[in-house]
Amino acid sequence: MTNKSLAKAPADTCILVTGGAGFIGSHTCVELLERGYSIVIVDDLSNSNAKAIDRIREIAGIGPSAEDQARVVFYEASILDEPALERIFESHDIDAIIHFAGLKAVGESVAKPLEYYWNNVAGTLVLCRVARAYGVKNIVFSSSATVYGEPAFVPITEECPKREATNPYGQTKSMLERILTDLHIGDPEWNVVLLRYFNPIGAHESGLIGEDPKGLPNNLVPYVAQVAVGRLASVGVFGDDYPTPDGTGVRDYIHVVDLARGHVAALDWMGGRVGTGAPSGPDAIAAEPAPCGSRRGVGVFNLGTGTGSSVLDVIHSYERACGKELPYEIKPRRAGDIAENYAACDKAREELGWVAEYDLDRMCADSWRWQSTNPYGYEEA
């Protein structure tokens, strides 16, 4: 079946967002709606909350009219549930998929490899099989800088060799990049964008959506946020003897709203709206259709800021955001951590026309707004 064309205005385009109730997914849904797209969200809520869907509607100003309501449809379903996916593709004229759904905790993946390979790899295969049957061969995939392992060099360009991941979570990202690339090789109608995220933090400026980890946070900023709000006593800094300026680990933190906009840019790229010299506003395609309807190929892009920040930089920036000192203590290094990684972002700038706009202080200020107004995330205290 011929692939769906993305060479049309966002207002006529419907995007399936798997994992759309999650942290990055929910922010991407907001950006898609603001650009005029309609969205269908599939999420099994295993690590997210249905309240995020209401908040997405609220931020995007989705009203009670049938026309507005049709722009955001939510299904509670797993991507492993093939009959459920078939019903969704049957009911909606989906043009492209942004695929976030997946398990993402590095440590947990070591203890539960079967769950990780099954959900992430088998789930994506089921999704692609159903999509193909309905002629949808446009997919933007949530990959990760984890595919570079201990990077061969920094800043990390997309040419940096992929290295063996040290945990099943990272393996699934690497494998899925390969699988999706092979889909295109086997059938060039598949358009694939692999977005390698660095460290997404922050929250929507409204304070209505943000990161809401279940249990003890694994990642730095959610942990710092819970110390700031009084849920946890002190931040553990994992190692201060790395070969970095202050001895603590350096990462490329990126505002989740910037990251979300990178996904919208990826759709523009697939639809031939950027990188061709064509105008890139919402109506650009209507004004100047891309020659072949959509761009065919596999695009690989780093999404980061290009700036590295240390663990102590993050803690101090968060202190400025919340207006108090945050207790921390130096702990041993965490197994599997690398000293430093940050992105070279030239390719995304040149080909997607995308750059990250927000700095670390803005990321922490927005994270704090979310955390302080929703101290227990989407759950009531």
Our finding on whether 369 is near ligand UFG (CB under 6 A) is: no
- Count CB-CB contacts under 10 A for residue 241: 11
What is the distance between the alpha carbons of residues 327 and 224, in angstroms, rounded to a whole number?
9
Contacting range for ligand UFG; rule: CB under 6 A; set: 49-57, 65-73, 129-137, 138-146: 138-146
Q: Which secondary-structure segment (H or E) carries 75?
A: strand 72-76
Nearer to ligand UFG, 337 or 346 (CB): 337
Residue from 192, 220, 260, 265 binding ligand UFG (CB under 6 A)? 220
The answer to whether 223 contacts ligand UFG (rule: CB under 6 A) is: yes
Residue window 182-201: x/- pattern of binding to ligand UFG, with contact defined by CB under 6 A: -----------------x--
Minimum Å distance from CB 97 to ligand UFG? 21
- Sorted by sequence, the CB contacts under 8 Å of residue 370 that are 6+ apart come out as 203, 204, 207, 208, 209, 210, 211, 225
Q: In the set 36, 238, 319, 349, which binds ligand UFG (CB under 6 A)?
A: 238
Structure tokens at 61: 């100003």
**Minimum separation from the CB atom of position 287 to ligand UFG (A):** 39
Whether 223 is a known active-site residue: answer no
Whole-angstrom CA distances from 175 to 6, 121, 251, 280 are 26, 8, 23, 33
Interface residue with ligand UFG, options 57, 104, 316, 369 (CB under 6 A): 104
The first and second tokens of residue 318, run together, are 């968060």
Q: Which residue number has the CB closest to ligand UFG?
A: 249
Q: Is 158 in the site for ligand UFG (CB under 6 A)?
A: no
CA distance 324 to 286: 51
Q: At closest approach, how far in Å is the CB of 177 from ligand UFG?
A: 13
Integer-rounded Cα Rg, in Å, for the chain is: 20
Query: Where in 311-350 is the site for ligand UFG (CB under 6 A)?
Result: 311, 334, 337
Q: How far is the CB of 303 from ligand UFG (least distance, A)?
A: 12
Q: Which of 116, 117, 148, 169 is catalytic?
A: 169
Pairing of strands 309-310, 199-201: unpaired
Stretch near ligand UFG under the rule CB under 6 A, chosen from 45-53, 76-84, 127-135, 142-150:
142-150
**Only segment of 119-127, 187-195, 204-212, 217-225 that touches ligand UFG (CB under 6 A):** 217-225
Both tokens of 103, joined, read 């398990």
Six-digit token string for 294: 């959509």
For residue 250, the minimal CB distance to ligand UFG (Å) is 7
Phi-psi region of 298 (alpha: psi -120 to 50; beta: other; left: phi over 0): beta
- The Cα–Cα gap between 12 and 148 comes to 37
Question: Taking the complex as a whole, how short is the minimal distance between the CB of residue 218 and ligand UFG, in angstroms?
Answer: 6
Looking from the CA of 152 toward its CB, the CA atoms found within 13 Å total 10
Q: Residue 73: how many CA atoms within 13 Å on its side-chain side?
A: 17
Estimate the share of the chain in helix, then strand, then coil, as percent rounded to the nearest 5: 40, 15, 45
Among 102, 151, 210, 249, binds ligand UFG (CB under 6 A): 249
User: Using an 8 Å Cβ cutoff, are 240 and 332 in contact?
Assistant: no
Q: What is the pattern of x (binds ligand UFG, CB under 6 A) and - over residues 51-80?
A: ------------------------------
- The catalytic site residues sit at 169
Residues of the shown chain interacting with ligand UFG in the complex, contacts defined by CB under 6 A = 104, 106, 144-146, 170, 199, 218-220, 223, 236-238, 249, 251, 311, 334, 337
